[in-house]
């Protein structure tokens, strides 16, 4: 069954769903639906419509959570029906999702408890030990411009030297040929 994104989270929990197909606008929305389907053990049928959806669909099929139909321009009605039948009838998707869902749910804390723990941790111990080195870096190092300059300047110098040497050889050859012609005259 096809569902728009806003229905993804609310409908994904229904036990009667055998498979799910969602329409999303970007990769973050797609990942929300993938995680919801993983949590509720719902196999998926994925059709990459926009930008990087295909890069999110490939790991889903690789892990056995559903079927990736590929890009929209390559999908036919037969391929869509075959993919839906595969997801519904092939028990391996449900088994794989059941195992993955158990791992996904096996966390000792839910997100609210984990956030509360981190807030208490920072209140008790301060946050200086969690200070990122990136905050103290100069902007050109943070953006890796120093590495970019090295990677661009060295090849540029080598190319300039090679071109200059080639031009000098050509000029010397022309001068030698011109001198030889003058001497012959």
Q: For 53-65, how does the pLDDT look when each residue is reduced to its tens digit (9 = 90+)?
A: 777 778 888 888 8
**15 to 39, 60, 61, 84: CA distances (angstroms):** 12, 21, 22, 18
2-110 under CATH 3.40.50.2000, yes or no: yes
Q: What is the pLDDT of residues 24-53, one digit of tens each?
A: 556 667 677 778 888 888 888 888 777 767
Nearest to 66 by CA among 103, 104, 36: 36
Q: What dihedral do alpha carbons 144, 150, 155, 156 form, nearest 10°?
A: 90
Q: Does position 131 have pLDDT exceeding 50, yes or no?
A: yes
Q: What is the pLDDT of residue 92?
A: 93
Q: Model confidence at 5, in pLDDT bands (50, 70, 90)?
A: very low
Q: What is the pLDDT of residues 76-104, one digit of tens each?
A: 899 989 988 998 899 999 999 999 999 88
pTM assigned to the model: 0.54
Q: Model confidence at 23, in pLDDT bands (50, 70, 90)?
A: low
Nearest to 64 by CA among 34, 46, 43, 80: 43
């Amino acid at each position: 069954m096809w569902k728009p994104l806003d229905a993804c989270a609310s409908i994904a929990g229904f036990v009667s769903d055998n498979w799910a197909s969602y329409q999303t606008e970007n990769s973050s929305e797609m990942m929300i639906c993938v995680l919801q389907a993983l949590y509720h053990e719902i196999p998926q049928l994925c059709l990459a419509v926009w930008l990087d959806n295909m890069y999110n669909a490939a790991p889903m099929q690789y892990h056995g959570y559903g079927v990736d139909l590929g890009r929209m321009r390559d999908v036919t009605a037969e391929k869509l029906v075959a993919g839906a039948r595969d997801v519904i009838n092939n028990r391996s998707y449900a088994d794989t999702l059941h195992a993955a869902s158990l791992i996904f749910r096996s966390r000792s804390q839910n997100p609210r408890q984990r956030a509360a723990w981190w807030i208490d941790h920072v209140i008790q111990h301060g946050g200086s030990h969690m200070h990122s080195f990136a905050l103290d870096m100069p902007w050109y190092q943070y953006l890796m411009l120093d590495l970019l300059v090295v990677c661009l300047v060295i090849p540029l110098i080598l190319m300039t030297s090679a071109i200059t040497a080639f031009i000098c050889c050509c000029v010397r050859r022309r001068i030698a040929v011109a001198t030889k012609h003058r001497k012959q005259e």
